[in-house]
């Protein structure tokens, strides 16, 4: 393990400055995939990233903060707000992308982090911001467009999109209820998401 910032002078340019931050985030995600959150130590991250712990602690206050940024950096949602011209088309685009992500490496990492977050309030708070709050803009815009087209009531809560999608995908994965394929995405959108979003209390 590299024990001092002096040794980091020998790192390639891509690992210094802004590149160093990215390299540490990448190393963190690699370790999350290998050993999981609980078994991953700051020493191991420093060793994997060829950085010093002093550097890491200058950039992040603790492991939860580092992990939250690493997940966002490596797997952050860069998807533009779907604009297919219809509520169903937009929801299908979102649901299909979510199902694909859930069955990839990032999905396995997120499941592990969610399990760890049950007994780590700091991690839970960081993940809530990264995985939920940061997506609010996307869902708000999707619902706004649908309301302007007359497909949804203007008072529809955008949080419904994430709440329902997250529950459907995590439940299907947890209980091994079947593949997260296009057929399931269509079922989720047509039979669950759209009816829930269009329901109005009497």
For the chain, the structural domain boundaries read 7-74, 77-198
DSSP collapsed to 3 states, 94-135 = HHHHHHHHHCCHHHHHHHHHHHHHCCCHHHHHHHHHHHHHHH
Q: Residue 132 has what pLDDT?
A: 78
Per-residue pLDDT of the chain (202 residues; tens, 9 = 90+): 444 443 444 445 444 567 899 999 999 999 999 999 999 999 999 999 999 999 999 999 999 999 999 988 877 655 678 999 999 999 999 999 999 988 988 888 988 998 999 999 999 998 888 777 778 888 999 999 999 999 999 999 999 999 999 999 989 988 999 999 999 999 999 999 999 999 987 7
Alpha-carbon distances, residue 104 vs 72, 77, 90, 97 (angstroms)? 15, 14, 22, 11
List phi, psi (to 5°) of 57.
-75, -15
Does domain 77-198 correspond to CATH entry 3.90.1310.10? Answer: no
User: Is 7-74 CATH 3.90.1010.10?
Assistant: no
Topology match between the domains 7-74 and 77-198: yes
């Amino acid at each position: 393990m590299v024990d001092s910032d002096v040794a980091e002078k020998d790192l390639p340019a891509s690992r210094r400055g802004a590149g160093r931050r990215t390299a540490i985030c990448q190393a963190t995600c690699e370790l999350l995939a290998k050993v999981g959150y609980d078994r991953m130590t700051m020493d191991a991250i420093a060793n994997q990233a060829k950085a010093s712990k002093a550097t890491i602690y200058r950039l992040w206050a603790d492991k939860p903060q580092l992990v939250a940024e690493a997940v966002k950096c490596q797997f952050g949602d860069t998807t533009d707000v779907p604009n297919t011209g219809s509520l169903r088309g937009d929801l299908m685009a979102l649901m299909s992308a979510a199902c694909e992500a859930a069955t990839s490496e990032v999905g396995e990492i997120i499941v592990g982090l969610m399990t760890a977050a049950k007994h780590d309030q700091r991690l839970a708070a960081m993940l809530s911001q990264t995985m939920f709050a940061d997506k609010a803009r996307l869902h708000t815009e999707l619902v706004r467009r649908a309301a302007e087209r007359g497909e949804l009531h203007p008072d529809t809560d955008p949080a419904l999109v994430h709440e329902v999608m997250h529950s459907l995908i995590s439940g299907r994965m947890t209980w091994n209820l079947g593949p997260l394929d296009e057929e399931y995405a269509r079922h989720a959108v047509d039979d669950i998401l759209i009816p829930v979003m269009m329901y109005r209390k009497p």
